[in-house]
Structure 1
């Protein structure tokens, strides 16, 4: 780190110490969260733990009644998981590309992200893992597809495998007999790369459509709204016609996607904007309405205006309020529906991988959590499934939760840990 970056980091450390005193004690969680009044930070709060990884024999902490083991190890920044019908587990290994800083603050940010293992050289591949003897540990590993562009979301529909690269959706022929891809992929939809780079995918229950989450280029449209065209949205691709459209917008960074089976509604977790305080605004879990607008960048949590942004009153008036707050800056990324009985003592609900904060004075997230559902909606407080990803002094992260999926046996959860380079498996104790 050069002198300018060190100076910025020193100023940032002072700001973090000062802001800890004003940090809300109660996180903004639930359907009716207490969201503090926005306070523009000026110099952004920048606090991330050093990414260390796990010591031999060390694991996350499972909630009472549960246990955790490593399903797969020695990956390179595993981000997303897809379980195929035959029980094979696919893991997307990708990383945000390193780049030259554009400003002094950007220099400090990139240096911090390097230390946290959040940027670097991307593996750009999907690997296949197979647990042949059913003991909860994968014995076989092979490269499923490589030389991709920051691959992330995956979906298998019939004989076609869809992959969400940062620059678009690619389709490959899939051979069920060999469990391998055949031939080169064909790009069906183009997305702008850069910014929030992840492209999660999910197929509709009838297999006729693919939905993709595309995050914004910037925090609050900092580079102009022309740069945000087609972004901060969930896209819908009609597989028969090949036509794609924006299904819902105003979603700053919609990552995980899941179906709620009772209502067949699409749900997502969204990373909200930075620079307004430790709990302002909260990230959130929400159902997604066709044609719905969710506020970004003009407003948040319904119609709370962000004064930093040149306003569009018409869009603010149309903004929908999310369903369930997940705490400020938790970086909630992973999402899957978990039916009752998958884990002992857990009813129907959504499992969420909270990657963890950088823009707050007291770290948040760094957990795998569960939100119970009833009648198609969240119905109670969240519960921890896995914790212990941070050292007590918040200086070190052993791992960071990302993608989640119900395991092939239907009685376990799989979670990608991109700092620990592990796929963790959670079951009943």
Structure 2
């Protein structure tokens, strides 16, 4: 893996001319289909984290637990991402289905008296009663009819005032032209679904979506394209510029052309943005959060935890972990480093026993992690002694 390591270092330092030469001089092999095989937790298997951190089961009984949100009363809401999906509410020892018969619900968010739920083909809002933890009838505010194929996660986020919502939608295929403008893009709306505008485009699959603490600056994690070999194209983590174009499908990491696209769009490629943090290729970061709590050591404050769902099209497996990106003065202060590992038995083995998905910071500063491979939610806490 020496060649891979050199390539990744060059990318991280943004030495893009080197990458261009490699991309044009080498006939990149197709990455093999290499999906994980989910197995029960092997005897003796452990999650490895820095000293002082503890991980334990928080809740079980789900099918594909994905995104989480904190309710007005401190309750946890969780989307269960299946074709006949649901939204759960967890409070103390109580665990119940709040909504059922949903089409692959993923992103969830609260604003004022409403709970917003992003299904694959529809964004709906529901009147929500925090005292009884019940929801009224849903109202569709954004239709995504006809967008049920390709990337099917939908992430929703509100700004601090609650007067604008953001909706992230991935592309219809790995590499394709002619998608509707909502796809491979981040959109912005009024809370009732009116006033649609495109914030940023050229984002193959922007799944993680958060604002930096104390600001409305949006950051996103993006799953990049497949089919150019094990080491291309790296996924990435970046701040989102209004009107920004991030390359897909014509180029990647700025102006590096995708050899499979014959249409020329020199104007778009010329302004394609180089992302802030280059991640490992094909690791599929499905969520991240900026840590603002006080339970963890100070070095983690305002830094980003990333949930790596794990590769499924790479010969040597990557991901199945949580990584951490330190921040200083609102900007990344170093590359991603391992924080929690162990769900993957080995890079050359198919067997894994967990797949990190969603992250949620609790009022006490602990973190919840959803795991759709293990069908559970974990709690991560820190104990100084």
- TM-score, with length taken from structure 2: 0.90
1:202 equivalenced with 2:164 (yes/no): no
* Alpha carbons 1:351, 1:368 under 8 Å: kept: yes
Partner of 1:211, secondary structure, is strand
- Separation of aligned partners in 1, 2:246 and 2:49: 34
The answer to whether structure 1 residue 330 and structure 2 residue 310 are counterparts is no
Structure 1 stretch 202-211 or stretch 24-33: which is displaced more? 24-33
Q: Which residue of 1 aligns with 2:4?
A: 24
Q: Is the 8 A contact 1:171 1:187 kept in 2?
A: yes
Instruction: Summarize the alignment of residues 170-185 of structure 1 with structure 2, pairs less than 5 Å apart.
Output: 170-182=124-136, 184-185=137-138
2:355 matched residue in structure 1: 400
Task: Please name the residue that 1:72 is paired with.
Answer: 59
Find the aligned partners of 2:49 and 2:84 in 1 and give their Cα distance: 29
Q: Does 1:269 align with 2:221?
A: yes
Deviation string for 1:15-69 (max 9, x for gaps)?
xxxxxx7861357378525775335545442222211132588553333221100
* CA spacing shift, 1:395–1:34, aligned 2, 3 Å: farther
Shift of 1:178: 1.4
Regions of 4+ moved over 6 Å: none
Q: Where does residue 265 of structure 2 map in the other structure?
A: 312
Cα distance in 2 for residues equivalent to 1:235 and 1:330: 24
Change (3 A) 1:89 1:301: same
The answer on whether the counterparts of 2:71 and 2:130 sit within 8 Å (CA) in structure 1 is: no
| Unaligned runs of at least 5 residues, structure 2 | none
Tell me if structure 1 keeps the 8 A contact 2:303–2:324: yes
| Contact 2:66/2:80 (8 A) holds in 1 | yes
1:210-249 alignment runs, 5 A limit:
210-221=165-176, 225-239=177-191, 242-249=194-201
RCO higher in structure (CA 8 A, sep ≥6): 1
Preserved contact between residue 89 and residue 133 of structure 2 (Cα < 8 Å)? no
Equivalence for 1:188? 141
Distance 1:285 1:25, change over 3 A: same
Pair 1:164-2:118 in alignment: yes
Stretches of structure 1 that go unaligned for 5 or more consecutive residues are 1-20, 96-121, 132-138
Distance (Å, rounded) in 2 between the aligned partners of 1:276 and 1:49: 20
Residue 94 of structure 2 is aligned to residue 128 of structure 1 = no
Distance verdict in 2 for CA 1:418–1:27, change over 3 Å: farther
In 2: Cα distance, 1:217 partner to 1:125 partner: 24
Assess if the C-alpha contact under 8 Å between 1:80 and 1:92 holds in 2: yes
DSSP 3-state at the match of 1:226: coil
C-alpha root-mean-square deviation of aligned residues, in Å? 2.1
Matched, 1:413 2:374: no
Q: Secondary structure at the match of 1:147?
A: strand
